[in-house]
Structure 1
Amino acid sequence: MIVAGREGGADGVRIVLETEEAMLLSELADQVDSVLLLGGDDDPALGRLFPSAYPEDQAAARDFTRYTRDSLVDGKRQAAQSVRDATATDRGAGVVEIELDQSQAWGWLTFLTDLRLILAERVGVTDPDEAEPADDERDDYLRAAYEWAGIVQGSMLEVLDPIGR
């Protein structure tokens, strides 16, 4: 994976992924979408994505959720769809090159944040700086995906952050 500024100094990022990395991102976007659509109110991953706005006032929290949840879910689903669209690839290609303008890149960052919150919940990460051994192979895979998504996210932020230039 390579993340760089767009050619010609334009705002945004250029991402070069191996075909397998693009396929992984597409599959992870599908999984995020599934959690958003099918996750029940008792799914702790959704609790991380949509924390209570009013933890001390249940009535206000329910009202806030009633008025905002659908639009928040729609925005997160659109971010996942933009990743799926960009990573759709011909299986025979060796690399996938993706050019994102600044707005698209921030949408990807939204997706990567959502992905990492879901994966963190699934493998029990409460403090990203404290690595705990995984319980099984599935957890190894999820933790690796969590860490890799963090690398992609960090690389994109380095390019987009005007202070870092």
Structure 2
Amino acid sequence: MIVAGRGGGGEGVRLVLETEEAMLLSELADQVDSVLLLGEPDDPALGRLLPSAYPDDAEASAEYTRYTRESLVDGKRQAAQRVRDATAAPAGSGVVEIELDQSEAWGWLTFLTDLRLILAERVGVDDLDDDEPDVDAETRDDYLRAAYEWAGFVQGSMLEVLDPTDG
């Protein structure tokens, strides 16, 4: 994967993905969408995506959820759909090139954050400041852990391009 700026001053991002990487992103976008659409209310991954606004006040939390949840879920699902649309690889091509303006790139970053929150829950990352998963080697899925790390790499690379002065 190659991530490069579209122009000076963080005006956008150009991604060059191997077909397999594009397919992986598309598959992961499907998974995010499935969690949002079909996730059980007690799914801890859904809890990370849509945490309680008032964890110590069930009534206030329910009221907040009633007014905000639908639009939050819709926005997250739309972000996942944009990733799926952009990563649709033409048959027989070896790479997928994606040009994102700054707004689109920030939408992708939102999706990548949602993806990493779900994967973090699945692989046992308890502290969001600690990228080292709490892993029981017999019960955790290496594929999910690798996807979590790769998504973090993509996210970090995009951020470096969008904000080249940081660092």
TM-score bracket, normalised by the shorter chain, equals: over 0.9
Equivalent of 2:153, from 139, 151, 154? 151
**2:30 pairs with 1:59:** no
Conservation of the 8 A alpha-carbon contact between 2:33 and 2:77: yes
Q: 1:114–1:6: structure 2 CA closer, same or farther, 3 Å change rule?
A: same
Q: Higher helix proportion, which one?
A: 1
**Once the two structures are superposed, what CA deviation does each residue of 1:91-114 show, in whole Å capped at 9, x if it has no partner?**
311111100000100000000000
Conservation of the 8 A alpha-carbon contact between 1:17 and 1:96: yes
Conservation of the 8 A alpha-carbon contact between 2:10 and 2:162: no
2:46 aligned residue: 46
User: Counterparts of 2:140 and 2:90 in 1: how far apart (Å)?
Assistant: 27
- Consecutive unaligned residues of structure 2, counting only runs of 5 or more, are none
2:137 aligned residue: 135
Q: 1:129–1:11: structure 2 CA closer, same or farther, 3 Å change rule?
A: same
Q: Which amino acid aligns with 2:104?
A: Q
Q: 1:70–1:93: structure 2 CA closer, same or farther, 3 Å change rule?
A: same
User: Counterparts of 2:71 and 2:133 in 1: how far apart (Å)?
Assistant: 34
1:164 aligned residue: 166
Q: Which amino acid aligns with 1:146?
A: Y
Instruction: Return 39-48 or 121-130, whichever deviates more.
Output: 121-130
Identical columns (%): 79
Conservation of the 8 A alpha-carbon contact between 2:10 and 2:161: no
TM-score (structure 1 length as normaliser):
0.93
2:24 aligned residue: 24
TM-score (structure 2 length as normaliser):
0.92
Please list every run of at least 4 consecutive aligned residues from structure 1 whose deviation after the TM superposition is greater than 6 angstroms: none
**Once the two structures are superposed, what CA deviation does each residue of 1:4-55 show, in whole Å capped at 9, x if it has no partner?**
1015767110000000000000000001000000001100001101111111
SS at match of 1:14: strand
1:13 aligned residue: 13
User: Counterparts of 1:14 and 1:120 in 2: how far apart (Å)?
Assistant: 27
Conservation of the 8 A alpha-carbon contact between 2:12 and 2:101: yes
- Consecutive unaligned residues of structure 1, counting only runs of 5 or more, are none
Alpha-carbon shift at residue 90 of structure 1 (Å): 1.6
Conservation of the 8 A alpha-carbon contact between 2:79 and 2:111: yes
